[in-house]
Amino acid sequence: MENSTQSAIFQTGTEIAYQNAGPGMKRLIYGYNSRLMLVKIMFETGAIGALHHHSHVQASYVENGVFELTIGDEKKILKQHDGYFVPSNIVHGLLCIEAGTLVEAFTPCREDMLITATS
């Protein structure tokens, strides 16, 4: 991705389209450029974010809901106002115990999400 690729300066709820992020999950992509991306993901109860890893560093905030997170060899239940950090290439995933929303920041930008958004 080139540095000239970036989101609009302002994003409003009426201008951003939801993307299917998997069974029981949908996401909104907010501001991004090649170095940073902000994403909001809504989960239905029982939705599973399968174990995976990526080279991106990730910091996430639980806006609401209850989630069972697995990061590396650790498992923890997180709820509203909790957060977590995922270093590069660490296996992680989650189970949504109570419908909720995560706000996630990635560095660098998750180009794979942008490709999904435009396909």
At 4, the pLDDT band (50, 70, 90 cuts) reads low
What pLDDT, in 10s, does the model give residues 28-76?
999 999 999 999 999 999 999 999 999 999 999 999 999 999 999 999 9
Q: How many CB atoms lie within 10 A of CB 34?
A: 15
Domain boundaries, the chain: 19-118
pTM of the full predicted structure?
A: 0.91
* Helix (H) / strand (E) containing 55: none
CATH number of 19-118: 2.60.120.10
Which has the minimum average pLDDT: 7-11, 59-63, 105-109, 115-119? 115-119
Q: What angle do CA 87, 96, 85 make, to 5 degrees?
A: 15
